[in-house]
Amino acid sequence: MSRLLFLFFFFLSLSLLAQDLSTKAELESMFENGQEKQALIQIEGFTQSLIEQGKYDSLPQYLDLYGRILQKNFDSNESEKRLLAIHQTWEKISQNPTYQRKLAKSLANWFEYIGNNTAAYQETLFALEWAAKEPNPKQEVLASLYLNLGGLAVKNMDLPAAKRHLAQVLRLELSESDPENVYFANSYLGNISYFSANLDSAAYYYQETLEAIDQLDPTPRNQFYRKSIILNNLAGVQMAQSDFEAAEQSMSLAISFGEQYMASDLEALEYQKILQDYLRSLDNLAGLYKQMGFYSRAKQLLEFSFRRKSEELGEDDLNTTKSRILLGQVYFDTQDLDLARKYLEDGLERLRQSDQENAYWLGDGLHTLARIEDFLQNEDKADSLYRLANGIFEEEFQGEYDVIYLDFLKNFSLFLAENQRINEAVSLSRTARNYLAEISSDNLYLDYNQAVNQAAIYELGNQYTQALQTSSEALELWDQLVDQRTSLNDSLQAVFQKPQLILIRNRSRYHLENRDVEFLKSIEKELLEGLQIIDSQSDFLFEPSDIGIQLDLNREYFEFLEQIELELYQISGNESHLDKLLAYHEHARYRQIRSRLQKNQLVRFGGTPPDVQEREQKLKEKLKESLQTGNKNLSRYSQTKEEWADFLDSLRIQYPSYFQLHFETSENVLKRVYTQLNPDITYLRYLHLGKDWWVLAIHGAEKNLIPFDAQGLSKALDKLADQSSKNSFQPALFHELYQLIWKPAAHHVQTKRVAVIPEGLLFNLSFEALSTEGKDNWSELVKYSLLQDHSFSYQYGLLLMDDQANQAYDDQLVAFAPGFFDQMKQRYQAAFLDRQFLDKSYMQLIPQPFTRRLVEEIASRFDARTFLESGSTVSNFKNEAGKSRIIHLGTHAFSSNVNPNDTHLVFAKSSENPLEPHELFASEIYELDLTSELAVLLACESGKPAYAPGEGMISLAHAFNYAGTKSLLIGLGKIDEKASVSIAEDFYDFLEDGLSKDEALRNAKLNYLSQAKGRELDPSFWASLIILGDARPVELKTKSYLGLIFTGILLVFLVLFWVFRKKSPSL
């Protein structure tokens, strides 16, 4: 479960308001209006006059202001040095306990202002010691000091000390009828209950505290500030109880009250402290969104909070450092690992260098860093980091665990189990569950999570009987958890916890019982129940990126379901199980494409009117709002769901492409695809199921599932990944891969034409380069390559092979070739007087003379419209490319694995407006009409993986496909311009002859290889160009010269006639 460290608040010292406002107001005004030097002279003179007049008892209330004025006049070290010298001088003036208490507390306020909570805590302890020396110290004074100590202890994450000080407040003889005392007592009883994981008790005390506040004077401090504190803490409890709707309401009110209090007339010192609490409230709301699965919202809030802290508090402030830890955690949850590591390591280094108490945050940051190393399979590093974090937590908690440490124990124990340290993992898990039992925890959510974790540990340790027993206990807790939910939204969130438990339970059953057909079908039935929950969850995750994360988290679920279908097929021979296996496997990829496609909310889809897309968004919002009711009444939700179903029906009929891309089920799409398969083609769908590799060979109505040597293939794919990244291949690899992924299925390939649907790292492989014989040089390898016997086309998923309707075209061919020649760049450069505005990356683009020559060649042969050099702009492409039978694009392209939205094609800079964008991003292509039979993308790296290593060709290819392009000639990776142009030129020749696209490309490559020599035979020169999509022929006609011939004959006749007339005698 994703979680974010919740930040509990304690109220500020009442001494902030007990200050002489007249002289201070004048000094504050000078200070805030930039008159810091005058303010320094003024406060020096004024405080000296107080000393000379014997009014030293007023000095303490000016110490923190003195510090802020010094800070404006000197650097931080010098200002602190001077203030401590002043404090030391004032300390000697009197040994009166009341004076010394106030002076110590004033210095504590200063330290808290500059973010040094450790020093603030020590000075407040000194103030408490002096208070104890006062004759008959007031209980309210002691209460104020204890409260401040408790608050500072929490900021330092010294929770045992915080509990100790809260208990000291409760021992004071405060009037039980005074609402102020009721406020103090209940708020801190709530805090103690929370830190002991007694969440129902904590919620009760916080509610009592809110009622007590309503009995106090309705000042801004009481009605806004104090309520914001208690509501923030109450939200933390409700989050831990998984009462998400109530938590969101409490958190929103806390933030609103905080904003209203900041808008009131506050002194600078108090405003600074309130601002810190306000920004921590935003961090807490982000934690709530993470727990609900709304990662995008959480990330946005944390980034905003970090910027505000950096601006208002400074880069080196401890609060800003804590934000770095929180950002690192949310970036890890969204699997942006580079950013996660950057912020975590930066934050941890700053925490280590800080002289303030921060061990709790250090432990939490190390915990997340350990999870990153675990994710990257760096087990030794992860183990070291987990143990380091555990030592810090044990020292901090001293036997009393809170929600954060319980979550840490869950992750650490699961990590140990995954690395087969089962006994230690079980011990840690029992520690957590025993603790909850010993304190009689009233929180079912904590009990449930720990029970599921323990079941998972037993399963990993092959202790399946214990795993099954513990999962049964967890199911009983889950039933109680659902019954306890007070709103539909919270009930759904509880329901979404169930698939993991279903998975653990059925994997344990799988190992304990005889696996006959009936037993496997019983597992299938339970797994399908969980699959429905997983699918329905996406209806309530309204950010597409959150859907992608949800699918990643449930990958093991899909893998086990596929395994069950595979075994049912192997035992029964019933092909329906094979079809289900394929549908579930494609389902995960299809949903991932859908969610990642929509990650950029600015994407618009051509062919679908804006008002239809707006209605979709409104219905989604309405569906979301229907879950915000305060009870389990399903009527409003059901009504909205019916409206949604009607809307989907209208999409299916009126806008089938949009419906199929976004909403159609994988089973329906697959059934339709089967009926459309070409009988002249053998389809090879490669499958990576768990640790095993298979290929499904489909030809006509025949389907055959063939296993591979998974261990050998895994090693060969590692080599392929390494050589692909360097774009430098070794001949031996192509024969090795032939033996592993082609030869086992070869007898099922009875056709010359083959369509390959790869998986994972196989996306980096051009199958035609596979060699039937092991050879050491490229010239020999080419002779035995599969290219000699087969033509190949590719798809990135069976579900994406759906036939598109036939279209009428306005043009035969349209071509774009920017060229990026020096004269173009010179014209662009001349448009700027100031070179700092030049696009340096554009100036560095490599010219493409061969591409320009090819466009001129095909334009001379076919009826083509061409846009060359400065005419090859983004705007011209958008306006002119559609409704052409072939779109030819020779340019540069850039793809990004880290951020798919950065994948783009590069065009020429506009000569009229050099500031106009010259990149066309993949997300923009979806809104275009690029209806065509074929798009030829001779663009460097255009087909490289954009979403994750091994998924290749998806970025631009899928965008073109949606925009109406039936197929693409595209490069798998870096392509040599000269070689690719040579192949493309012959490719057009064979298309003209009426060959299918895959056969035309095969013949073009064979022509190239017959003339190539030396390193030009390397597959990196010729194999990267592939056909992706529909491989059927394209009708392509050369220019007709009959008109020119007729015109020529007519001109000759007219000339002869004129000559004859000239020679004839006049009449």
Q: What is the DSSP string of 927-955?
A: TS---BSEEEEEEETTTS-SSSTT--SHH
Rounded Cα gap, residues 429 and 450, in angstroms = 7
Amino acid at 301: L
Q: Which of 69, 67, 60, 68 is nearest to 20 (CA)?
A: 60
The label of the residue with tokens 């080196």 reads: 316
pLDDT at site 507: 94
- Place 630 in a pLDDT band, splitting at 50, 70 and 90: very low
The label of the residue with tokens 């800079």 reads: 909
Across residues 263-274, what is the average pLDDT?
74
Rounded Cα gap, residues 588 and 188, in angstroms = 48
Across residues 445-464, what is the average pLDDT?
89
pLDDT at site 1045: 57
Highest mean pLDDT, choosing among 103-117, 141-155, 504-518, 1014-1028:
504-518
Q: Is the pLDDT of residue 861 over 60?
A: yes
811-1029: which CATH number, 3.40.50.720, 1.10.1240.10, 3.10.20.600, 3.40.50.1460? 3.40.50.1460
Across residues 428-439, what is the average pLDDT?
84
Is the pTM here over 0.95, yes or no?
no
Question: Is pLDDT larger for residue 731 or for residue 485?
Answer: 731
Q: Is the pLDDT of residue 946 over 60?
A: no
CA angle 568, 569, 573 (to 5 degrees): 120
Amino acid at 666: S
pLDDT at site 153: 78
Q: Is the pLDDT of residue 950 over 50?
A: no
Rounded Cα gap, residues 474 and 451, in angstroms = 6
Across residues 9-25, what is the average pLDDT?
47
| Angle between helices 97-113 and 268-292 in degrees, nearest 10 | 50
Per-residue pLDDT reduced to its tens digit, 1025-1047: 899 888 999 887 776 555 555 66
Across residues 940-956, what is the average pLDDT?
47
Per-residue pLDDT reduced to its tens digit, 553-574: 578 888 899 999 999 999 998 9
Tell me the fold of 217-313. Answer: 1.25.40
- Place 541 in a pLDDT band, splitting at 50, 70 and 90: low
**Which helix (H) or strand (E) segment is 703 a member of?**
strand 702-707
Distances in Å between the Cα of 775 and the Cα atoms of 731, 783, 993 are 7, 10, 34
How much is the mean pLDDT over the chain? 79
pLDDT at site 854: 83
Taking residue 218's Cβ as centre, other Cβ atoms within 10 Å add up to 10
Question: Is pLDDT larger for residue 587 or for residue 758?
Answer: 758
pLDDT at site 781: 86
pLDDT at site 792: 95
Question: Is pLDDT larger for residue 243 or for residue 598?
Answer: 243
Across residues 877-906, what is the average pLDDT?
74
Q: Which of 278, 281, 275, 302 is nearest to 235 (CA)?
A: 281
Q: Which of 110-114, 269-273, 811-815, 956-960 has the lowest mean pLDDT?
A: 269-273
DSSP code of residue 1038: B
**Which helix (H) or strand (E) segment is 969 a member of?**
strand 967-971
Q: Is the pLDDT of residue 949 over 50?
A: no
CA angle 847, 851, 853 (to 5 degrees): 110
8 Å CB contact between 557 and 551: no
Output b/e per residue, 579-605; b: 16+ Cβ within 10 A: bbbbbbbbbbbbbbbbbbbbbbeebeb
Amino acid at 754: V
Q: What sign does the CA torsion over 1055, 1060, 1062, 1066 have? A: negative
CA angle 415, 417, 422 (to 5 degrees): 140
Distances in Å between the Cα of 166 and the Cα atoms of 120, 163, 191, 192 are 17, 5, 8, 8
Across residues 991-1019, what is the average pLDDT?
91
Question: Is pLDDT larger for residue 594 or for residue 265?
Answer: 265
pLDDT at site 1062: 62
Helices assigned H by DSSP within 626-747 = 635-654, 656-662, 666-676, 710-726, 731-737
> Which percentage of the chain shows pLDDT scores above 70?
79
- Place 335 in a pLDDT band, splitting at 50, 70 and 90: confident
Q: Is the pLDDT of residue 240 over 50?
A: yes
- Place 786 in a pLDDT band, splitting at 50, 70 and 90: very high
